[in-house]
A = this chain, B = another copy of it.
Amino acid sequence: MAETGSARPATAGAFDRLEVALDRASPIPLYYQLAQHLESAIERGALAPGDLLGNEVDIAARLGLSRPTVRQAIQSLVDKGLMVRRRGIGTQVVHSQVRRSLELSSLYDDLAAAGQSPATRVLRNEIQSASAEVAAALGIPEGRDVIVLERLRTTHGEPVAHLCNHLPASLIQADTGRLRETGLYRVLRAAGITLHSAQQTVGARSATDREAELLDEPAGAALLTMRRTAYDDHGRAVEYGTHVYRASRYTFDFQLLVRP
């Protein structure tokens, strides 16, 4: 009965304006294709902040998808903080511009993405037996062999950070040459180690004399510190790092989402 026909100007959502072409032959899941389309539409402004997307049933019908599939796509954007759902209202693009949230990428990637042309000086790359602190952080017996990496990260010739990492020696062979050109996490990834999570602690303290010299800061300058243990898929600790950053040249930016 309630056949609305072709005209439906009533509660048209912003989704109408989009041209979404799904490829059912692609190995990429449909919900993921849709999510990518929506995200890129937001990025290029085709979906503006505050826009109502339009209801899920219509979108599903228009795309020839089932509603759960459409929901899965939208939900992934909600989880990213790009959209907000409201019962009785609809789904809208979030008003505030969302900055990229902190990911589990290496500092190298962070800097490269920011166009900072990072470089690395490897100060130390050797095998030692694990101290009590390192053993506890990595969850291995004290005295077990670990790779100790000490590096100085610079951008445009200026030092940014002093990085000290410990890895179980059984994991990889740390190639100093490769570590000069890229980040530790890329080396791990290339070795088939997929990171899963990391526990980080960020703090501050005054620079030691050696740190001040390495980082080209005055004695006793305030530095930003970060201690991190990274875990792989199996929950095994893969890396323990204690890093020190020049506070004048580096901060941690991240976005928090309230879990509903």
Question: Per-residue CB proximity of A18-42 to B under 8 Å, as 1/0?
Answer: 0000000000000000000000000
**Total number of A residues with any Cβ neighbor in B under 8 Å:** 52
A96 and B203 form a contact (CB under 8 A) = no
Q: How far is the CA of A98 from the CA of B236 in the complex (A)?
A: 12
A203 and B252 form a contact (CB under 8 A) = yes
B95 and A258 form a contact (CB under 8 A) = no
- Known contacts: A96-B231, A256-B102, A257-B104. The answer to whether A224 contacts B202 by CB under 8 A is yes
Chain B nearest CB: distance from A60 CB in Å?
16
Which B residue's beta carbon lies closest to that of A206?
A: B222
A95 and B234 form a contact (CB under 8 A) = yes
Question: Per-residue CB proximity of A222-260 to B under 8 Å, as 1/0?
Answer: 111100000101111100000000010011111111110
At the interface, yes or no: A3 with Cβ under 8 Å from chain B? no
Chain B nearest CB: distance from A90 CB in Å?
13
Which B residue's beta carbon lies closest to that of A96?
A: B235
- Known contacts: A94-B235, A204-B222, A206-B222. The answer to whether A196 contacts B251 by CB under 8 A is no
At the interface, yes or no: A175 with Cβ under 8 Å from chain B? no
B222 and A257 form a contact (CB under 8 A) = no
Contacts of A251 on B, CB cut-off 8 Å? 201-203
B96 and A197 form a contact (CB under 8 A) = yes
- Known contacts: A96-B139, A224-B203. The answer to whether A235 contacts B49 by CB under 8 A is yes
Contacts of A199 on B, CB cut-off 8 Å? 99, 253-255
A196 and B234 form a contact (CB under 8 A) = no
Q: Which residues of A contact B (CB under 8 A)?
A: 49-50, 68, 79, 81, 84, 86, 94-96, 98-99, 102-104, 139, 194-206, 220-225, 231, 233-237, 247, 250-259
- Shortest beta-carbon contacts, A-B, top 10: A95-B235, A204-B204, A222-B222, A204-B247, A203-B251, A204-B224, A96-B235, A202-B252, A104-B256, A206-B222
